[in-house]
Amino acid sequence: MAAPSVTSTSATTDYLAVHRRKTQLARLRRTGFYVFVAAFVLFCLLPFIWTVITGFKSNDAVFQSPTTYLPHPPVWTNWKKDLTTPRFTRAIYNSVIISSSATILSLLVGSICAYSLARIRFPGKNLVLGIVLAVAMFPGISIISPLYLQFSDWHLINNKLALILPSVTFTLPICIWTLNAFFRDLPLELEEAARVDGCTRAQTFLRIVMPLAAPGVFTTAILLFIASWNEYLFARTFMNTQNAYTVTVAIAQFEGADVASATPWGEIAAGAVIITLPLVLLVLIFQRRIVAGLTSGAIKG
């Protein structure tokens, strides 16, 4: 009976060895996983971090070859210059006005349409959904030539209306689709109770649905604002004097004091951070809701 006891001890040591190897493997896998995750996070952030760093470099430092990883010493001049140059602050002002008008306009028109699609039974609903979808896929370039001729006729070139109006083509579908998903997720009971209590549809919508959907409306507003803040094709085409530039055009057209001078990379980088940081922060603060809003339409169909 000696043999079994020998095998049993060796089995125990075997077991222990296997167990140790397993935990080692698990630890290795976990480390590997975190290395992968860290690499991915760096991949996402590094280009933006580099832009911030460039914003702190003097122009001489930017053009040094090979480039230095850190600015020494860091300078504030680019940021100061951007925030005090009218051509840049003016662009921010233009973009704020245009994007908020487009957002509000889309919300006004889109929210009632989305509510109707989500809650009310009427014939032709699929057709409406199809139209909204078709417009979402419209290439802006395929409507730009008649719009340009029309706006020239109406003397709307360099007028904010020339950007607010066509922005409907890309903000309205986002608005209708995202809000539709939000409205459908609201509990039906409250609306029914309101109806029983004698509220009309319009009253129900204004007093019950809108307050309940406020987070959804807010998320949608952020998405719409970002979409029109980032618009470039129309802005570049319909705005051709420096006073009328939006932020995207201002960043793309950034040039030195005169044509011969080198690209002012420091100022461009600082400007790029200034015009995007508010949006990035907004997105990060409300990330849960925004991700839900972005993907809801896609997943629920």
Between residues 10 and 200, which has the closer beta carbon with respect to another protein? 200
Contact 135, 113 (CB under 8 A): no
Q: Which of residues 172-191 bind another protein (CB under 8 A)?
A: 172-174, 176-178
CB atoms within 10 A of CB 251: 19
Tokens linked to 18 = 């296997």
Amino acid at position 131, single letter? I
Give the three-state DSSP class for 189.
helix
CA dist list (Å): 6 to 2, 3, 18: 6, 5, 18
Q: Which of residues 138-177 bind another protein (CB under 8 A)?
A: 138-150, 165-166, 168-170, 172-174, 176-177
Among the listed residues 75, 113, 156, 212, the single contact to another protein using CB under 8 A: 113
Q: Which of residues 242-271 bind another protein (CB under 8 A)?
A: 247-248, 251-252, 254, 265, 268-269
* Long-range Cβ contact pairs of 63-68 (< 8 A, separation 24 or more): 63/262, 63/265
Q: Which of residues 216-245 bind another protein (CB under 8 A)?
A: 223, 226-227, 229-233, 236-237
Residues contacting another protein: total by CB under 8 A: 106
Q: Tokens 């199809």 map to which residue?
A: 130
| Residue 36 binds another protein (CB under 8 A) | yes
Between residues 5 and 241, which has the closer beta carbon with respect to another protein? 241
- Smallest gap from residue 13 Cβ to another protein (A): 29
- Smallest gap from residue 192 Cβ to another protein (A): 13
